[in-house]
Amino acid sequence: MIKMIDLHAHILFDVDDGPKDKTESLNMLEQAAREGITDIVCTSHAMHPQYHVQYSKVQALVHDLQQLLLQNQIPITLHTGHEVRLNDELLAHLQQKHLHTLAHTNYILLELPSNTIPAYTKEMIRHLKCAGYTPILAHPERNLAIRENPKRLDVLIQEGAFTQITTGSLTGLFGKEVQRLSLALVRANYIHTIGSDTHNVSTRKFCYQEALQYLEKKNEIEMVERLLMNNANVLANKPIMRFELEDLVVKKRWLIF
């Protein structure tokens, strides 16, 4: 059975827009255990306009929460990480060990601005790849420029980036348009990994089981296995499976499929 690994979670307390205290973090971790999640990469914001959680702070809090998990006999392993907002100084910060990759692997979780794809995005992907890093784009389905024209994501994937769908996008948490786009991207092989992007136990919860069940109901059982396997490969620092992109047809921001 493939392990259920969450590669994107704001689980560290009192550092960004995630949980405010240790109790809230513990409640989230208990929820994760009920979902069947065995590993979580703690991806607090870095280089974000509002938040930047220091490298050492991530290390310390992951250690503290792991001890809390042991004390409460919750069978989850935590890993260090960052959700890094795209920035033209990103590579230098990575090389200076100011930013965490995902669980000490060569994979880095990148966040685009909410509304745009900066002009230097392709160049940054190339630089990261040349330096030995593999970028994974967080929640592309929630980026306005991609929602307006999903084919824009094609270029970034061709440059060597991988992508990560948010569980809540598949369940309808961000609205029907995002849900429709998410399913279409999955079906066209534009999505490689999955993450919860959880922030709390109510409005931004894990949604893992619900998201996977949604894909199964849409006859995407093979994709469920592929996403879970790719998540496991990321954690093991192994290559992600990539499949040939299929056509996306876009009309008035709604996908025809």
Contacts of 119 (CB under 8 A, 6+ apart): none
Say what the pLDDT of residue 257 is: 37
| Mean of pLDDT over the chain | 94
pLDDT over 80 at 252, yes or no: no
- In this prediction, residue 256 carries a pLDDT of 40
Domains of the chain, earliest start first:
4-255 (3.20.20.140)
Q: What is the amino acid identity at position 225?
A: E
Task: Give the mean pLDDT of 195-213.
Answer: 96
% of the chain surpassing 70 pLDDT:
96
Mean pLDDT of 216-245: 95
Q: Extract the tokens encoding 8.
A: 């994107």
The 3-state secondary structure of 132-177, one letter per residue: CCEEEEECHHHCHHHHHCCHHHHHHHHCCCEEEEEHHHHHCCCCHH
Dihedral angle sign, alpha carbons of residues 56, 206, 47, 52: negative
Find the mean pLDDT for residues 87-114: 96
Q: Give the integer Cα–Cα distance in Å for 158 and 117.
A: 15
Q: How far apart are CA 82 and CA 203, in angstroms?
A: 21
In terms of phi and psi (left: phi > 0; alpha: psi -120 to 50; beta: otherwise), the region of 134 is beta
| This model's pTM is above 0.85 | yes
Q: How confident is the model at residue 108 (pLDDT cuts 50, 70, 90)?
A: very high
What percentage of the chain reaches a pLDDT higher than 90?
A: 92
Structure confidence at residue 157 (pLDDT): 97
Q: Half-sphere exposure of residue 47, counting CA atoms within 13 Å on the CB side?
A: 21
Residues 172-190 have pLDDT tens digits of: 999 999 999 999 999 999 9
pLDDT digits (tens, 9 = 90+) for 122-148: 999 999 999 999 999 999 999 999 999
The confidence score (pLDDT) of residue 247 equals 77
Q: What is the pLDDT of residues 52-85, one digit of tens each?
A: 999 999 999 999 999 999 999 999 999 999 999 9
pLDDT at 138: 98
Q: Rounded to 5 degrees, what angle do the CA atoms 213, 201, 198 make?
A: 70
Q: What average pLDDT score do residues 198-222 get?
A: 96
- Interatomic CA distance for residues 210 and 116, integer angstroms: 29
Q: Which residue has the higher pLDDT, 256 or 108?
A: 108
